[in-house]
Structure 1
Amino acid sequence: MVGILGFVWGSTFMGIEIALGGGIPPFWLATGRLAIAAAVLAVVWGRQGWRLALDPDQRPTWAQIVWTGAVSSGIPFLLLNWGQTHVTSGFAGTAMAAVPIFVLPLAHVMVAGERLNARKIIGVGMGVVGVWLLVGQGALTGSGAALEIWGQLACIAVALCYAVNSITIRRLPPVDPIGLTTLMMASGAVITLPFSVVFEGVPPVPSANALWALLGLGVVSTAAMNLLRVLVIRSAGPTFLTLVNYQVPVWSVVLGAWLLAEPLPPSLIWALALILSGVALGQFGALKRLFVSR
């Protein structure tokens, strides 16, 4: 299941590239993807009785739910889709490897029992150098777009949003994961819709390939993979996230180069190696627990 998550989420950036190239504007792509995912997940949640709070005495507030939807999907989907109009899908996927690098210092401050130590600090430092290689001093100019640096920064901001989201979810009271995910997708769609209408107006008629890509992004990459994520957490624990973060950038780079003929600048490879090495060092304990036989 971890392998499927890594491959599908790694191929998501290629799907976004196809949808954007087929005529779907970036903000409408975010809204459509979230609306489809919310509809699919709502069907599953409804079959379970629409329960959200697992403890009647500890209910999440609507402000918490909306904030979680904003940092999990609404804001990052807008930034990612816009960013990918100016960077390659390989860059966007590699930038997601920075998520654990942001998580470690945030967890140190906001989550009990998640303290930084020397090994984790070194890992964060390696990740920071890797992120700098991605955007610093024009190190990566794979797309040649005029606004490429802003697209790069948008992708890095997406990784930061996902890190904030992981901390936010950990601080929520006990909730049904499918119910929470459904509300996250729905609130994300509500957030992106005004941007779509105001900045892009009525969406044009996209190509057939773009529509298939949108459907795949909504049903498979967003709805189905979030359900699979729930199954992994229940059966194997949250350490799955470490392995997914290893796989996503690798698949995004490989698929982008193989199927979309995107360039592979040396700086991208070095950045990928540094970020993933930093993740491995910072998450060594989780990896050891996952692989040591029981």
Structure 2
Amino acid sequence: MTPITPANWFRLILLGAMFGAAFMFTKLALEGVGPRLVVASRLGLGAILLLTIAYARGTGLPPVRGKGAGLIWVFALGMGVFTNALPFFLLSWSQQFVASGFAGVCMAVVPLLILPLAHFLVPGDRMNLRRFTGFLIGTCGVAVLIGPSAFAATGTEFELTARIACIAAAFSYAIGAILTRLCPDVDMISLAAAALSIGAALFVPYALMIEGVPDSIPATSLLALLYLGTLATGTAQLLLVQIIRSAGPVFMSLLNYQVPLWSMMLGIVFLGEELPTNIYWALLLILFGLGLSQASALKRLFSGRRRA
């Protein structure tokens, strides 16, 4: 059984807050640049941050020669594609044609996709009825939180294709999580830097080709891009790798239930958005599902505290 420590819980909550705040900062960033350039800026700035940290520590990128070096880079390529470039592209394109909440519901399905993959591919992350039921309840909680508007038809020409793209993005994140866990032993900062650098190398040229370089960027949008790149992408990628490598992809997938809650709460506090009437039922379902799916880990956590 994969050990889940208090540090892992702290990283998970911190990561949820970072990703939740990303929605608010993305709104500000979009006032000055297009959606593809927002993604390109996130990947580029995040890669620069992690490369700087990796080389300042003296580790740099993973080795390109020696035993297992090639395999590590194959996994880094898979992470760069499935965790970064591909889902970012699919979501940035599809959200032009689907109801805004549909992508959020699709991301909540990621834990249900990770469960069977981890069961067969990751030692110690076995699927059982309790875990599956807990994740299913949590997914229902997110659907209640977002509401029926997530499934409303927009009537646009590419709506069906866009919905398929959202589902494909969820599958992509699930595959990326499994690849991160299965990668051979390597320094985690080096691995995160390599994956993000590959994602940036794949997406930045595409974004510049489609949207070009803006003549100017408002200060608010620039500050929002700095947050998105350094914290919501660079630092978040490092935390993501640490969680998956130490606690497993199934535990990490709990992040997908946190993000809508953080996004909504931050929107209420900082953007003056209204508190939805269904949030209490949604919160109850999400917390119950989380507790059910992680009952063993929570029991070990609190019993360890009592002994301490």
What TM-score comes out, normalization by structure 1 length?
0.78
Tell me, in whole angstroms, the C-alpha distance in 2 between the residues paired with 1:121 and 1:226. 26
- Cα shift at 1:145: 6.2
Q: Is the 8 A contact 2:62 2:72 kept in 1?
A: no
Q: Is the 8 A contact 2:95 2:103 kept in 1?
A: yes
Match of 2:73 in 1: 62
Tell me, in whole angstroms, the C-alpha distance in 1 between the residues paired with 2:85 and 2:125. 27
- 1:9 paired with 2:32, answer no
- Cα shift at 1:290: 3.1
SS at match of 2:109: helix
Q: 1:164 to 1:264 in 2, by over 3 A?
A: farther
Match of 2:183 in 1: 172
SS at match of 2:17: helix
Tell me, in whole angstroms, the C-alpha distance in 2 between the residues paired with 1:225 and 1:206. 24
- Equivalent AA in structure 2 for residue 11 of structure 1: A
- Cα shift at 1:203: 3.9
Q: Which moved more, 1:22-31 or 1:191-200?
A: 191-200
- What's the % identity of the aligned pairs? 38
Tell me, in whole angstroms, the C-alpha distance in 1 between the residues paired with 2:150 and 2:200. 32
2:148 is matched with which residue: 139, 148, 170?
Answer: 139
Q: List alignment gaps of at least 5 residues for structure 2.
A: 1-9
- Cα shift at 1:143: 10
Q: Is the 8 A contact 2:188 2:242 kept in 1?
A: no
- Cα shift at 1:172: 1.0
- Cα shift at 1:275: 5.2
Match of 1:40 in 2: 49
- Cα shift at 1:243: 6.2
SS at match of 1:162: helix
Q: 1:126 to 1:237 in 2, by over 3 A?
A: closer
Deviations 1:193-226 (Å, cap 9, x if unpaired)? 2431343344453322111110111112222334
Q: 1:142 to 1:184 in 2, by over 3 A?
A: same
Match of 2:173 in 1: 162
Q: List alignment gaps of at least 5 residues for structure 1.
A: none
Q: 1:87 to 1:191 in 2, by over 3 A?
A: farther
Structure 1 residues 1-294: aligned runs within 5 Å: 1-2=10-11, 3-20=13-30, 22-47=31-56, 48-50=58-60, 52=62, 57-59=67-69, 60-83=71-94, 88=100, 96-127=107-138, 129=140, 139-141=148-150, 155-203=166-214, 205-228=216-239, 237=247, 241=252, 244-262=255-273, 274=285, 277-293=288-304, 294=307
Match of 2:7 in 1: none
Paired residue total = 289
- Equivalent AA in structure 1 for residue 113 of structure 2: F
Tell me, in whole angstroms, the C-alpha distance in 2 between the residues paired with 1:34 and 1:168. 19
- Cα shift at 1:18: 1.7
Cα RMSD for the two superposed structures: 3.8
Q: Which moved more, 1:178-187 or 1:79-88?
A: 79-88
